[in-house]
């Protein structure tokens, strides 16, 4: 079958040309790729490798300071040779793109129907009546319930999954030959992710549309792609059929592909190396003509958390042999609030304990009450009913003054490290401010704590004088972890702490969290949407749905024998490894 899309020696450069006609910075270099009708090709690699730049080059959406060379062939015609007007006609009609975050891609002041109809007006010259009828048909095709009613909704009235379905409807409105999906499910829950990916695969197959799927999730690649290309530093390092590339001996893989695979957590084998150190990729690369060099660790240093019996043994004091109280105990906790005149029972009768040194995973879809629960535990919002005990002390009704000294015992690591760090403070100021807020006035003690925590999170001391924008995402999350640990807490609430990170950086942060737990005896409440990650790091897992804990089990039994239908649906939706 002939290819519908071909990239030949594609180069993308940013920056102005100087007197010698040299370009400032090359971000895509000699990149070749081909996609056939009805085929799904995955493009994988870490942030900054050039995946999205390649997609935007195909669409003709790069910034004015970008220079594109090589060939982008659509059905044999070079798109780079077209006039700007002709190129705009191709984009949206013959080649369409779905972006990662639908809420920022949709116009908030236009109904979803009007936005889809706008595409039909421009590219197919349909009348208003015909465009509306076709829009309703498209919404039904992408499985939006009640499309006749939802066509007049604004984006904020739709869920994240429904907004992404609207983006898909808009992208396929003109029956394109090529559909580019740039991380289309990263911001979605696992069950919604499975539905969206299955929908894209079905549409590509039925419409004989070439699908270029950009992702960092190797489980998604293994389950949905026909072929995969691995990209790093603007170059294609390796390409092949998924079953061939992932099925071959790892020694035959490119070192970077081998590192990505070793750093990935997939559902099928996560239990086999629970809390064992994950591979970490260390890359030294230039685009000066030399090939990138890769260094990564695949050693098996066992960081396994003791089982329940060992945890109970640790909870016995050597001096008095009395069993310690749980680090956290919630008893029939309720948190309700009003929204649009209705009572929302965000947390509805939740009870569980976390033992000293234990990691409890909390999984569930958006809106199930996970974040409200964590904010209630932190005493950022008041519970409606029930009890919260922290290290044996009841804190449910403590006032702010009485609660202040106890706040050191429980700290939080947030999902977005950049948004949670003060951009006006350097790292020294961020850590110092946390200590001062908790009335640690001795300057020498503050300095000693800061030096110690920087060592623990593996950041150099010269980083103390740098600002958050000067760090990578993984380094910023290490700063967020340092800010939490500088107060020497006993319990750390991790709210989606690695969801914004690439697979290899995620592995580094997970390794760090496991090491810190072992060194400091920390307890974790680990809130996450990826069941493979939770299965890896947690001793016990709680499944939350509709504000309630619907199932609980240890890291293995819950997956071997899920009982609640919701748990079964979550597990069934997780992509499997190749």
At residue 100 the predicted structure's pLDDT band, cuts being 50, 70 and 90, is: confident
Domain membership flag for residue 307? no
State the pLDDT at residue 29: 96
32, 164: one domain = no
In a domain, 2, yes or no: yes
Give the burial class of 304: count Cβ atoms within 10 A of its Cβ; 0-12 exposed, 13-18 middle, 19 or more buried: exposed
Residues 529 and 544 reside in one and the same domain: yes
What's the length of the chain?
Answer: 578
| Residue after which a domain boundary falls, among 138, 173, 208 | 173
pTM: 0.77
The span from the CA of 43 to the CA of 180, in Å, is 10
Same domain membership, residue 524 and residue 397: yes
Task: Name 211's bridge partners.
Answer: 40, 179
What is the average pLDDT score of the chain? 86
Q: Which helix (H) or strand (E) holds 20?
A: none
Query: Do 419 and 524 share a domain, yes or no?
Result: yes
Rounded CA separation 245/265 (Å): 17
Residue-wise pLDDT for 4-53, tens only, equals: 999 999 999 987 555 555 546 899 999 999 999 999 999 998 888 899 99
Domain count, the chain: 3
* Least confident range of 181-195, 308-322, 378-392, 502-516: 308-322
Residue 125 domain-assigned (yes or no) = yes
Buried b (16+ CB within 10 A) or exposed e, 58-68: bbbebeeebbb
Residue 393 shares a structural domain with residue 529: yes
pLDDT of residue 347: 96
Classify residue 285: in a domain, yes or no.
no
Same domain for 124 and 90: no
Note whether 528 and 414 are same-domain residues: yes
Tell which of 154, 173, 192 closes a domain. Answer: 173
Q: For residue 297, is pLDDT > 70?
A: no
Q: Are residues 535 and 420 in the same domain?
A: yes
Whether residue 361 sits in one domain with residue 218:
no
335 bridge partner residues: 347
Q: Is 287 among the domain residues?
A: no
CA neighbor of 10 nearest in space, from 229, 212, 234 = 234
Among the residue ranges 143-152, 311-320, 411-420, 481-490, the one predicted with the least confidence is: 311-320
- Domain range holding 561? 336-573
Residue 375: which CATH number?
A: 3.40.50.300
Same domain, 168 and 202: no
**pLDDT greater than 50 at residue 65:** yes
Task: Write the pLDDT tens digit of every residue in 300-358.
Answer: 333 333 343 333 333 333 444 345 689 999 999 999 988 777 898 999 999 999 999 99
Structural contact between residues 46 and 504, judged by C-beta atoms closer than 8 angstroms: yes
Which one of 193, 222, 246 terminates a domain?
246
453 and 562 share a domain? yes
439 in a structural domain: yes
297 assigned to some structural domain: no
Give me the half-sphere count of Cα atoms (radius 13 Å) on the Cβ side of residue 522: 29
Contact indicator for 328, 542 with CB cutoff of 8 Å = no
In-domain check, residue 267: no
User: Would you state the pLDDT for residue 104?
Assistant: 83
Same domain, yes or no: 31 and 157: no
């Amino acid at each position: 079958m002939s290819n519908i899309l071909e990239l030949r020696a594609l180069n993308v450069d940013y920056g102005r040309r100087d007197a010698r006609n040299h370009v400032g910075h090359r971000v895509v270099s000699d990149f070749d790729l081909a996609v056939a009708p009805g085929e799904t090709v995955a493009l994988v690699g870490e942030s900054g490798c050039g995946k999205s730049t390649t997609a935007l080059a195909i669409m003709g959406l790069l910034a004015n300071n970008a220079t594109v060379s090589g060939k982008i062939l659509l059905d044999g015609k070079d798109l780079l040779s077209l006039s700007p007007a002709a190129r705009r006609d191709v984009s949206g009609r013959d080649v369409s793109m779905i972006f990662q975050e639908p809420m920022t891609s949709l116009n908030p002041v236009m109904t979803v129907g009007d936005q889809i109809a706008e595409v039909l007006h421009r590219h197919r010259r349909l009348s208003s009546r015909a465009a509306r009828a076709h829009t309703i048909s498209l919404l039904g095709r992408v499985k939006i319930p009640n499309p006749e009613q939802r066509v007049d909704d604004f984006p904020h009235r739709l869920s994240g999954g429904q907004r992404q379905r609207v983006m898909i409807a808009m992208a396929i409105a003109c029956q394109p030959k090529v559909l580019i999906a740039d991380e289309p499910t990263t911001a979605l829950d696992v069950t919604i992710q499975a539905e969206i990916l299955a929908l894209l695969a079905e549409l590509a197959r039925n419409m004989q549309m070439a699908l270029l799927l950009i992702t960092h999730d190797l489980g998604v690649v293994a389950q949905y792609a026909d072929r995969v290309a691995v990209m790093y530093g603007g170059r294609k390092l390796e390409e092949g059929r998924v079953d061939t590339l992932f099925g071959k001996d790892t020694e035959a893989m490119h070192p970077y592909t081998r590192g990505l695979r070793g750093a990935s957590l997939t559902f099928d084998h996560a239990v086999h190396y629970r809390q064992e150190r994950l591979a970490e990729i260390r890359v030294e690369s230039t685009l000066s003509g030399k090939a990138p060099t890769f260094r990564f660790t695949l050693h098996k240093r066992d960081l396994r958390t003791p089982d329940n019996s060992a945890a109970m043994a640790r909870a016995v004091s050597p001096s008095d042999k009395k069993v310690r109280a749980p680090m956290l105990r919630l008893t029939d906790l309720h948190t309700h609030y009003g929204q649009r005149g209705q009572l929302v029972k965000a947390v509805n009768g939740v009870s569980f304990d976390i033992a000293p040194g234990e990691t409890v995973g909390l999984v569930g879809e958006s809106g199930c009450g996970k974040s409200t629960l964590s904010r209630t535990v932190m005493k950022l919002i008041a519970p409606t009913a029930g009890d919260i005990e922290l290290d044996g002390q009841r804190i449910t009704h403590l006032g702010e003054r009485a609660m202040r000294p106890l706040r050191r015992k429980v700290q939080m690591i947030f999902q977005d490290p950049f948004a949670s760090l003060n951009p006006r403070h350097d790292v020294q100021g961020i850590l110092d401010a946390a200590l001062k807020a908790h009335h640690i006035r001795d300057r020498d003690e503050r300095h000693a704590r800061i030096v110690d925590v920087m060592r623990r999170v593996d950041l150099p001391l010269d980083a103390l004088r740098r600002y958050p924008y000067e760090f990578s995402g993984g380094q910023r999350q290490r700063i967020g972890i340092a800010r939490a640990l500088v107060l020497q807490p006993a319990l750390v609430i991790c709210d989606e702490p690695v969801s914004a990170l690439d697979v290899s950086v995620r592995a580094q942060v997970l390794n760090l969290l496991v090491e810190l737990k072992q060194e400091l005896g920390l307890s974790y409440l680990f809130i996450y949407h990826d069941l493979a990650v939770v299965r890896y790091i947690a001793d016990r897992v709680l499944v939350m749905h509709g504000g309630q804990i619907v199932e609980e089990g240890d890291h293995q039994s819950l997956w071997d024998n899920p009982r609640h239908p919701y748990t079964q649906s979550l597990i069934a939706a997780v992509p499997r490894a190749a």
